[in-house]
């Protein structure tokens, strides 16, 4: 049982520590506290760090693929009281080993017609059994203010569903993007429709699950050696014009333009059905990958992907294997086809909808 008075004392102690040390991991913090006979659990430290980050804006967090996150102190008062800390996020690929990660999307928690926690649990169980310790959720975690019905009670109901029932496989770290339904809750860049009166900083969820972390943006670019992968909720035709959003597979495969020339793979959710296709601009090939929703919509169909990146001796990425995860009527998970995408060689041009095909 967490004692809030004890947590409040710890918040004050941690801020003093950060002023002296600036950059710290949670393990380093625990050692500093222990050495000064201040005995707190990792859970208590995690909660206090969340308060410093979310409520006070005093620290930000840098995540790494293979090492512990680093919390950094923000000494500038102006940045503490601006949107800088609210929307800051950094994820660093800090080694050159082969990598495997799970991709899911559009869980729409709070909508009883869509949400399926048994299906989600089985997807996570599959990942655990196959040595996968990273998951990227591409947004629309929640149903949010669907049908323009929203209240404090409804927001708390959806948060409570997540905290109680979202799979908690401790060996898997999950990173969540902000989807269009989540924007209403999160108050993304202070955007709120007229019918939204209540918002919740979704970064608070790590207070309850320290293996979950919200990426407080709708997309993020990660560089795996010489390969750039963009993870987004909605795939954009042009990042300079975010209103120009792609809404269907035919539109994606008839762009005839460089979506973002530096990107090798663009991964998105939002459309609920899975797809693979390619975009070619001059001599550059890009793989466009749509992640299906892990909900009742896709029972007996594709519900998630696993991406495996293979590195060569020169620390470059050779190829990516994309494996489709299928669900049967009892939510059992099995492997479907695996597609190989070679980064240095020519690939067969694709235009394929995964679901029902």
Please report, for residues 137, 156, 223, 357, the alpha-carbon distance to residue 274 in angstroms, rounded to integers and kept in the order given.
14, 31, 23, 10
Q: 319-326 contacts: CB < 8 A, separation 24 or more? A: 319/343, 320/227, 320/265, 320/287, 322/276, 322/289, 324/274, 324/354, 325/123, 325/126, 326/300, 326/301, 326/302
Q: What is the pLDDT of residue 238?
A: 44
In contact, 283 and 290? CB cutoff 8 Å = no
| Same-domain status, 326 and 268 | yes
Beta 265-268 vs 284-290: how paired, if at all?
A: parallel
Q: What is the pLDDT of residue 1?
A: 60
| Same-domain status, 82 and 105 | no
Better-predicted residue by pLDDT, 138 or 180 = 138
Please report, for residues 258, 285, 353, the alpha-carbon distance to residue 280 in angstroms, rounded to integers and kept in the order given.
7, 5, 18
Q: What is the pLDDT of residues 39-56, one digit of tens each?
A: 999 989 999 999 999 999
In contact, 292 and 298? CB cutoff 8 Å = yes
Better-predicted residue by pLDDT, 234 or 108 = 108
| Same-domain status, 84 and 114 | no
Residue where one domain finishes, among candidates 71, 92, 113? 92
Query: What is the band of 154 on the pLDDT scale with cuts at 50, 70, 90?
Result: confident
| Same-domain status, 32 and 140 | no
Residue where one domain finishes, among candidates 40, 61, 92? 92
Domain ranges, residue 82: 4-92
| Same-domain status, 80 and 124 | no
Q: What is the CATH number of the domain that holds 201?
A: 3.60.21.10
| Same-domain status, 78 and 109 | no
Closest by CA to 214, choosing from 175, 161, 185, is 175
Q: What is the pLDDT of residue 188?
A: 56
Total domains, the chain? 2
| Same-domain status, 219 and 330 | yes
Total Cβ atoms within 10 A of residue 141: 30
Angle subtended at Cα 335 by Cα 329 and Cα 337, rounded to the nearest 5 degrees = 115
Q: DSSP 3-state assignment of 351?
A: strand
| Same-domain status, 152 and 282 | yes
Q: What is the pLDDT of residue 260?
A: 62
Q: What is the pLDDT of residues 303-335, one digit of tens each?
A: 999 999 999 999 999 999 999 999 999 999 999
Angle subtended at Cα 44 by Cα 38 and Cα 47, rounded to the nearest 5 degrees = 130
Max CA distance (Å), the chain: 64
User: Taking the model in full, what pTM does it have?
Assistant: 0.89
């Amino acid at each position: 049982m967490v004692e809030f008075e004890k947590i409040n004392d710890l918040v004050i102690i941690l801020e003093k520590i950060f002023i002296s040390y600036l950059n710290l991991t949670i393990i380093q913090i625990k050692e500093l506290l222990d050495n000064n006979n201040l005995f707190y659990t990792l859970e208590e430290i995690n909660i206090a760090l969340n308060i410093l980050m979310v409520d006070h804006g005093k620290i930000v967090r840098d995540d790494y693929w293979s090492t512990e996150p680093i919390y950094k102190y923000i000494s500038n008062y102006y940045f503490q009281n601006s949107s800088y800390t609210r929307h800051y996020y950094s994820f660093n690929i800090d080694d050159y080993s082969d990598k495997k990660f799970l991709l899911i999307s559009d869980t729409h928690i709070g909508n009883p017609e869509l949400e399926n926690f048994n299906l989600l649990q089985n997807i996570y169980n599959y990942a655990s059994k196959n040595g996968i310790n990273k998951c990227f959720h591409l947004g629309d975690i929640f149903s949010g203010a669907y049908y323009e019905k929203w209240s404090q009670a409804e927001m708390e109901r959806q948060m409570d569903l997540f905290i109680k029932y979202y799979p908690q496989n401790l060996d898997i770290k999950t990173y969540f993007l902000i989807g269009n339904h989540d924007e209403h809750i999160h108050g993304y860049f202070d955007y709120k429709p007229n019918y939204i009166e209540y918002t919740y900083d979704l970064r608070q969820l790590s207070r309850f699950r320290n293996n979950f972390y919200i990426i407080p943006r709708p997309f993020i670019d990660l560089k795996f050696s010489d390969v750039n992968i963009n993870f987004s909720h909605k795939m954009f035709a042009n990042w300079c014009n975010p209103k120009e959003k792609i809404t269907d597979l035919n539109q994606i495969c008839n762009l005839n333009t460089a979506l973002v020339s530096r990107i090798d793979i663009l991964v998105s959710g939002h459309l609920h059905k899975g797809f693979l296709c390619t975009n070619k601009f001059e001599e550059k090939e890009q793989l466009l990958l749509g992640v299906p929703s892990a909900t009742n919509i896709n029972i007996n169909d594709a519900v998630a992907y696993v991406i495996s990146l293979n590195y060569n001796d020169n620390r470059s990425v050779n190829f990516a294997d994309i494996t489709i995860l299928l669900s049967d009527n009892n939510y059992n998970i099995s492997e479907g086809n695996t597609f190989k995408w070679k980064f240095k060689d020519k690939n067969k041009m694709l235009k394929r909808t995964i679901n029902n095909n």
